[in-house]
Chains A and B, each alone.
Chain A
Amino acid sequence: MARYFTEEHEWIDVDGDTATVGITDYAQEQLGDIVFVELPDTGAQVAKGKDAAVVESVKAASDVYAPITGEVTEANQALDEDPALVNSSPETDGWFFKLTIADKGELDGLMDEAAYKSFCDGL
């Protein structure tokens, strides 16, 4: 399983034809206490770079973009009950949604962990 990162601070785990998407530890740190996550419906088609979810703190709402194109197969229902999971375990239990990968070629432009780390260090 490979993990990729985007410049919009999303991570994406690729496992065969499916991928799991969430936001990074850096992102949750910047957003502060997460109070609500609006997730896509199962079956929704999302397109690379377009809105897929919304993550809200008390005073801000931020769009989460789909890092790749695909069909949503599952949204993390645990976030409905406990949005704080995004703060406490952003890169594990706080995942947002899973999707089928339409075009593996879209993964090419994404960063690996080391590249993302140096990207964040430069911010």
Chain B
Amino acid sequence: MNAPNKSGWKPGTPVEGHNAVSGPDTVTGNRALMLEEPLIFEIGGPDTTGVDFAAGADADRLASRLGDLARSEPIGLPGLTEPETVRHYTRLSRQNYAIDLGLFPLGSCTMKHNPRLNEKVARMPGFADVHPLQPVDTVRGALEVMNELAHWLIKLTGMHGVAMSPKAGAHGELCGILCIRAALEAKGDAREVILVPESAHGTNPATAAFAGYRVEDIPATSEGRVDLEALKARLGPDVAGVMITNPNTCGLFERDMKAISDAVHAAGGYVYCDGANFNAIVGRVRPGDLGVDAMHINLHKTFSTPHGGGGPGSGPVVLSEALSPYAPLPYTARTADGVVHLVEEEDADSFSEEHFGGKMQSFGRMTAFHGQMGMFTRALTYILSHGADGLRQVAEDAVLNANYVLRSLEDLLHAPFAHSGPCMHEALFGDKGFAEGLSTLDLAKALIDEGYHPMTMYFPLVVHGAMLVEPTETESKAALDQFIMALRSVAERAIAGDESMKSAPHYAPRRRLDETQAARKPLLAWEGELAPSGRAVRSEVGGR
């Protein structure tokens, strides 16, 4: 096999004639740079702290305005000094895979590079150190950031308005569905059902149910797209709307999107679009042109705010003219004099009268304060960095990279929809052809040994043993080539029936974890007592 690096050099591969020798077990459980780390509860003590206060500011001086509620019992929190703290978390960090370490091909998650300028900007004191309830005259810049980002999100999607406060994608979905419900109720047209394709992300049905709707599936065609005729047949006076992901979770653009929207509208319903995959079309397609009524945008996907090991996200929802009046409070609006207003409960009605002809009838409030400001600054920084030309290039490179992966593997891995035409931002494979007894899970774990985070697995549910690969636009061709080489190698092993894959990963900080034990006997908090400071003993974390 040809070495994929430009120089032809493959680091870490032994030169011919030199064989790897496995070493003995170590007394610490460490393996050189792979370091074991105990829990803070095992190394910290109740009398240790890494924070200094002015002398005398201790518990004894606690004045008694606490009623009869002064704490008498210990809390049981361990403390570490600063050097111990930094070392603890630095060691832990090294047990994580991350975009900064390598290609992160999780389908539908858009793990792209997180620019560091975003981080720098978010930390400017004028953004980071501002209280949400300061008088508005002292936060004009923050309101302008919200309004400027809102403006570009509307422009990029071709929609009418945007609700900025939702805290993440699923929260945005809820916002969009509640707008639909409010719009229908305003017409006195209560409906009961939301239609969701079989291939939908689990948050879609969960959201619809949380908003009080019954969920029904829409079938897919053999091409991996929504079955338009089946959808049309199901539409009726009880259907409040549909939730469609576009590009969909099979990595395909829903060609019939406009026809779907028209049919839903004709039946008196609304169209929710899950915007998780907006990265594939940003700057090239505007969902508003396809008849969408509401779509959330994961700023932590398309607009590069960091995932942070599971959030925080941010999920602004762009809205059509029909749904915009029902957007939650608060919202910002720029008036003709150039001033950006923060519209909250108290002035919602008067502001609506004065500036919107009384049309705004918000369904309420989804969260305290005004939304994920720290994500707004990052996303706006990203949008301005890329600009109109750069964002278009983002979509093009993301789609090109995914198609390159698809066409480099389709001869080896079953690609159920490869015949349907080009994919968008992600390539979908199935486990057909794997040797008996080997699964997608085994392939994924073997890929870990090759130094990659696995792709999204077993999703969408419509493909057996699904593997959904989203390389994103921030990977170079060399990085893709190396990934393709690794994926081809593990796929070949899966097809050939390499039993060693069943015990992979072999080289990660941990081998496969016993999830059955974790669920049968849940141990969700540390239950021991703290040792007094200075006498804490390191437990044998890594020992066998």
The answer on A and B forming one complex is: yes
Q: Which residues of A contact B (CB under 8 A)?
A: 33, 35-36, 56-58, 83-84
Stretch at the interface among B271-279, B395-403, B515-523: B515-523
What separation, in Å, do the CA atoms of A32 and B516 have in the docked complex? 10
Interface size, B (range): under 10
Chain A residue nearest in CB terms to B515: A58
> Could you list 9 examples of A-B contacts with CB < 8 Å?
A33-B516, A35-B519, A36-B519, A36-B520, A57-B516, A58-B515, A58-B516, A58-B519, A83-B520
What separation, in Å, do the CA atoms of A36 and B516 have in the docked complex? 10
What separation, in Å, do the CA atoms of A83 and B519 have in the docked complex? 10
Q: Which residues of B contact A (CB under 8 A)?
A: 515-516, 519-520
Residues of B within 8 A of A56 (CB): 519
| B516 to A: closest C-beta gap in Å | 4
| B442 to A: closest C-beta gap in Å | 15
Residues of A within 8 A of B520 (CB): 33, 35-36, 83-84
| A90 to B: closest C-beta gap in Å | 16
| A20 to B: closest C-beta gap in Å | 24
What separation, in Å, do the CA atoms of A120 and B245 have in the docked complex? 37
| A50 to B: closest C-beta gap in Å | 16
Residues of A within 8 A of B519 (CB): 35-36, 56, 58
Residues of B within 8 A of A57 (CB): 516
Residues of B within 8 A of A83 (CB): 520
| B206 to A: closest C-beta gap in Å | 13
What separation, in Å, do the CA atoms of A58 and B516 have in the docked complex? 6
What separation, in Å, do the CA atoms of A84 and B521 have in the docked complex? 11
Residues of A within 8 A of B515 (CB): 58
Residues of A within 8 A of B516 (CB): 33, 35, 57-58
The 4 closest A-B pairs by CB, nearest first: A35-B519, A33-B516, A58-B515, A35-B520
What separation, in Å, do the CA atoms of A36 and B515 have in the docked complex? 13
| B459 to A: closest C-beta gap in Å | 11
What separation, in Å, do the CA atoms of A35 and B521 have in the docked complex? 8
What separation, in Å, do the CA atoms of A36 and B520 have in the docked complex? 7
Chain B residue nearest in CB terms to A36: B519
What separation, in Å, do the CA atoms of A84 and B515 have in the docked complex? 14
Taking A35-B520, A36-B520, A56-B519 as given, write out 11 further A-B residue pairs in contact, using a Cβ cutoff of 8 Å, ordered by the A residue number.
A33-B516, A33-B520, A35-B516, A35-B519, A36-B519, A57-B516, A58-B515, A58-B516, A58-B519, A83-B520, A84-B520
What separation, in Å, do the CA atoms of A56 and B516 have in the docked complex? 11
| A101 to B: closest C-beta gap in Å | 32
What separation, in Å, do the CA atoms of A83 and B521 have in the docked complex? 10
Most B-side CB within 10 Å, residue of A35, A56, A57, A83: A35
| A83 to B: closest C-beta gap in Å | 6
What separation, in Å, do the CA atoms of A61 and B49 have in the docked complex? 44
Chain B residue nearest in CB terms to A83: B520
| A32 to B: closest C-beta gap in Å | 8
Chain A residue nearest in CB terms to B458: A59
Residues of B within 8 A of A33 (CB): 516, 520
| A29 to B: closest C-beta gap in Å | 15
Residues of B within 8 A of A36 (CB): 519-520
| B523 to A: closest C-beta gap in Å | 13
What separation, in Å, do the CA atoms of A53 and B222 have in the docked complex? 35
| B517 to A: closest C-beta gap in Å | 9
Residues of B within 8 A of A35 (CB): 516, 519-520
What separation, in Å, do the CA atoms of A28 and B39 have in the docked complex? 37
What separation, in Å, do the CA atoms of A74 and B110 have in the docked complex? 50
What separation, in Å, do the CA atoms of A57 and B515 have in the docked complex? 10
What separation, in Å, do the CA atoms of A57 and B517 have in the docked complex? 11
What separation, in Å, do the CA atoms of A35 and B520 have in the docked complex? 5
